Structure 1
Amino acid sequence: MSAEYGLCDLAVVSLRDTEQESDSGMRGSSVNNSKFQADFSEDPRISASAFRYSNGTVKAGSSTDSAVSSEVKLCSVHESELDRYCSTEGRLVCSICVTQGSCEGHTVTQLAERATAVRNQLVDICEKMQLQALRIERFIQHTLSEKERTVQAEASIAREQVVAQVNAVREALEEEEQHLLEAVHREEERVEQCLLTQREHWSKALGTLSNARTSLVHTLTHSTDAMLVISNQEISDRIEEAEGVGNPKDTEKLNLNKDCRNSKLMLGLWASALLLGSSARGPAHLHFDERSVSPLLSLSSDCCTLTFLPKRQRQAPPNNSERFDSWPNAVCSHSISSGTHSWVLEVGTSGAFKVGVCYTSMQRKGPGNDTRLGYNTKSWVFSHYDGDFSFCHNGKNMTIAVVKRPTKVGLLLDWTTQTLLFYDPDTMSVLHTVSQAFTEPLLPACAVADQSISILH
């Protein structure tokens, strides 16, 4: 388009012309190609013969002029022909309006020139529309069709992978189930055999004891003094025989070894199902109970972070019966006595911490083991101290080997199965599992003697 047409004030439709104009060969060259003319000829209001082309631009021809200008419009002020266009005011004007009237000094062009510019712009817009239509057709015919085939292929592969994974898990579960059921059956048979042996042994012992007693009673009741006196050997034999029977004693051999049901595979899948499924949930609004926080610790404003305090920073907090006064402990405000719950604590690089649970009845006053997490029958904790990790309960420490030092420790408490599980949330690896018949509501509990630990939500 020539520079003189840059003055047109048309509101040009914006089209995304992302392809090179060279694809069509339309813009900036002669536009008298058959396809473009055909597009125009399809519109009954426009005849292709109404256009003539010169130097790459479209100009109004005589046939168009006669069609459009069949009725001459006059200026309402000067009664002259409206043969000019005022770009400043955006309206048709006459020559007198330009020289003496309201449009004096405005940007004005001849009506024919303005019409030519408008036509050229419309041609450009139509060309762009045609290009856009071609792109849409190609997108529908090629891109979308190819995308549909690709999606169908990928979906088929995804379905095969899902089925393969589920089948692998199902096969592993079935094999593990069979293995565990057989292990439980063998253990049941072992215990039943032990019980049968014990029953037979003690039945014989009972007969022996009964015979010895009957013999002694007969000797006692039917012997004369002389016979009783000379029956020392017989009496001694019966007494020795009775004493040899011994006393029955219950042993671990008569109990089912519950380890026969343990399986790392089953434990991992069970924990993953609970942790990743919809059944697990953290205690609502879990935070530390400010009343329980030891004076050796500080509690953040959101009640989610415990920080060990150097001696110079410690202050005596208000006295409270719920407060741990000797060990750097704290418990949460939410007790657990049903359902499945999980929560995670950020332990960072702390060199001394404990995370776990305790009964609500655990003692809190004094320096004894009754108030020390992991050193009584009312608390179960995962502990880190002096570079070692361990599980602590009732004063017994079980060393736990970790492949990577965890910066977070997660806890999963399933009340239904009476199971407490410690895990690493970053690797989803199980650190330790506890099977315990909990008899009281439990509180999440922590201790920290280095840096800080925090509840994560």
Structure 2
Amino acid sequence: MDKQQGTPQDPVGDLSPCLTSVMQPYPCSPTTSRKPRADSQIFSQKQLSCWMEALEKECSRTEAHMASLKKRQANLSTTAEMMEQQVRERFEAMRVALEKEQKAVLDSLEQEHRENSSKLTRLLHDWNQHLKLVRKHIGTVRTLQERGSEGQLKQVSPDDFSCRKKQDAAELNIRLNDEKFQKLMKILGKISKDLQVQLQKKSLLLDSTEVMIDRTASHKHIRVTSNGRGFYIWPADDSSSPSHPLQFDQTCCALGSPAISSGQSYWEVNVHCCPSWAVGVAYGSLSRKGQDKRTKLGRNRISWCLEFRDERLSAWHNDRHLVLPTKTAPDKVGVFVNYHKGRIAFYDADTMKMLLDFSTSCTTVFERAHHQFTEPMFPAFRFFKARERHAVPDHMEICELGIERIVLQ
């Protein structure tokens, strides 16, 4: 009996360990196990006070910073409105000045017209009186003819019918002064052209750079004036001036300062007194020794230039060139550099006509339209063979573009 009763109990006894292991809950994941239970989060009052104090300070700091930003935003709007108003006032002043000058010119023309018209009116009155007299005499003579009375005709003196009026030479001068008017139109045309040029140039002038010639980075035959803006080529004895490590020893080039490594820069060069020249920009790593392509502007990858030579204007980079369709060379060359956008543009500074823009010139001549500058750039200039037996040496000059000079002009 014990054996029978024990028989069914053995399997249960054998399975209980298995059932017990199956019914146990799954082990917690590492993430879950790291989270402390809510009932176990017990903080001291000191900790809570510290946290509250830190949060309140952060709240106050945030509120103060937001208030500062709002104030700056309000000031920004106020400043923008003031600037816009000043711009309107400046253009309004220009408009008023133009209208005033226009009125003065028109009044002068109207006054001249009235004076000449009055003179012609008086002349017409005189000639009208003369015409009446002539017609009266015609009537008298016709009456005498009809009567056919020789006695009455003899009583009339021939001098009574001698009423020829002489034309005054001053009549020919009664006219509008066309010569003066043509001069006026030429002057107004020049003023209008200059104004258009200045308006086109105004954005570039905001980035004007005071370029000076670096004597230590110029060929020893290049002489620089005391103000550092004018420079000319003048052959001299090689022993007359010591050489400098940064000087060009054979290619007659000169570099200017300051270096351009950010932002935008604009300067102008007067090349009127130089029959052949090259103006541009170059990296400071441009080779200075020898006479190969590494030392010549536009004949390598690290220099760009506008060149006038053999009566031909061309743009050069990486020893490739593009001949520009212009009949005459500019007297002043404007150079604009936008370092971050990799842009170099050349202008005729007198007319503000763009001669070439290296960043947008999509031609097969140059490898790419956009250049990414990787080194500081310097204004660069080159003289070609100097004219022999010439009293005035070939020279160039950096133009002064300061605001004070603009106001004086």
Using structure 1 for the length normalisation, give the TM-score: 0.39
Using structure 2 for the length normalisation, give the TM-score: 0.43
The one of the two structures with greater contact order (alpha-carbon pairs below 8 A, sep at least 6) is 2
